[in-house]
């Protein structure tokens, strides 16, 4: 059984791979010039896969600036004996290095004639962006290939979803509190009418009617059914009853208006919550879509790579 081990990359690993023989004659030609080696032993940003203590493949990234890094891979010809293990390791490590170091763009240069390298880069999720004419030290053409990590889109979608839900919950809470205040206001207005306003109106009417009777009796006029003072008093009683009914109607109308305002506020709060949940749901779906897109790009071409031409 092969003993696999992953260790931090050292430049001696690259030298061993080159001296043993690389995975393609084109790579052997490029490696003949030591000054053109692209492997960088950056602490925490590079790795080597050993099989029974022999370096099989090394790789890593080196940041160019914030969010953008250059990727590199050196493979021994022994990699074809361990191609599945090596390919999955490189994919996993590259992704891990980029995500942990907040790299959203990983790019590399692949020789135009290096078909196996182009296929492997595509399997890793990189896409061709164009040909760099005479890019190589031997004036050969290279493809610029790059991968945009949508994990940051995923994180942004999740943050937007949680933010939408939080805002929706807050707005709903505010509307519900306003509705509760309106309902309390309605109850208070009703209590004030029954305990204060209506009794005041009744007392005023009773006082006015008593004064009317006093004036009638002082005048010496007869006060009995059919007489003018009696009919005037009866009319006053009708007016008082109408005024009481009007005041009660106005109080009920005001109470219903306040209740309607409370209902509208509760509906607005529920609408804010519903809108927030819709926004959150769409952001969650977008987040899952971005992850599925990355996964499909990374693993969808697996069979194409493992079938060496």
Q: What is the pLDDT of residue 303?
A: 42
Count other C-beta atoms under 10 Å from residue 193's C-beta.
19
Give pLDDT tens digits along the chain (309 positions). 888 888 888 888 888 888 888 777 777 666 666 666 667 777 789 999 998 889 989 999 989 998 899 999 988 888 889 888 888 888 888 888 888 888 889 999 999 998 988 998 998 889 999 999 998 888 889 999 999 987 555 555 666 677 777 777 878 888 888 888 888 888 888 888 888 888 888 888 889 888 888 887 888 887 788 888 888 888 888 888 888 888 888 888 888 888 888 888 888 888 887 777 777 777 666 655 554 555 444 444 434 444 443
Question: Which pair of structure tokens corresponds to residue 128?
Answer: 């061709």
Answer whether 101's CB lies under 8 Å from 139's CB. no
User: What superfamily would CATH give domain 4-149?
Assistant: Gcn5-related N-acetyltransferase (GNAT) (3.40.630.30)
Helix (H) or strand (E) holding 91: helix 83-100
The pLDDT, as a whole number, for residue 306 is 43
Could you give the CA distance from residue 264 to residue 68 in angstroms, rounded to a whole number? 51
With a CB cutoff of 8 Å and minimum separation 6, the contacts of 206 are none
**CA–CA distance, 243 with 209 (Å, rounded to integer):** 14
d(CA 185, CA 255): 9
- Give the residue carrying structure tokens 């004419």: 133
Q: Are 244 and 206 in contact (CB under 8 A)?
A: no
Sign of the Cα torsion 191, 192, 193, 199 reads: positive
């Amino acid at each position: 059984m092969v003993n696999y081990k992953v260790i931090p990359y050292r430049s001696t690993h690259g030298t061993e791979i080159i001296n043993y023989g690389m995975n393609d004659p084109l790579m052997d030609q490029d490696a003949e010039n030591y000054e053109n080696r692209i492997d960088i032993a950056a602490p925490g940003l590079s790795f080597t896969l050993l099989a029974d203590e022999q370096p099989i493949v090394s790789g890593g990234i080196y940041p160019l600036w914030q969010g953008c890094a250059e990727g590199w891979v050196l493979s021994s010809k022994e990699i074809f004996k361990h191609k599945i293990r090596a390919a999955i390791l490189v994919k996993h490590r590259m992704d891990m290095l980029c995500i942990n170091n907040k790299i959203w763009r990983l790019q590399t240069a692949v020789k135009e004639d290096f078909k196996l390298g182009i296929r492997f880069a595509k399997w890793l999720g990189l896409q061709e962006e164009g040909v760099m004419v005479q890019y190589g030290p031997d004036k050969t053409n290279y493809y610029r290939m790059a991968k945009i990590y949508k994990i940051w889109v995923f994180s942004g979608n999740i943050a937007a979803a949680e933010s939408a839900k939080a805002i929706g919950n807050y707005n709903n809470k505010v509307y519900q509190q306003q509705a509760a205040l309106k309902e309390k206001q309605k109850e208070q207005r009703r209590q004030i009418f029954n305990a204060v306003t209506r009794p005041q109106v009744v007392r005023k009417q009773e006082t006015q009617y008593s004064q009317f009777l006093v004036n009638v009796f002082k005048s010496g006029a007869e006060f009995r059914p059919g007489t003018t003072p009696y009919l005037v008093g009866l009319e006053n009683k009708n007016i008082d009853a109408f005024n009481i009914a009007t005041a009660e109607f106005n109080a009920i109308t005001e109470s219903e208006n306040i209740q309607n305002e409370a209902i509208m506020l509760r509906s607005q709060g529920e609408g804010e919550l519903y809108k927030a949940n819709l926004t959150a749901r769409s952001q969650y779906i977008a987040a899952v879509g971005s992850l599925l897109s990355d996964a499909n790009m990374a693993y969808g071409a697996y069979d194409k790579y493992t079938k060496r031409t």
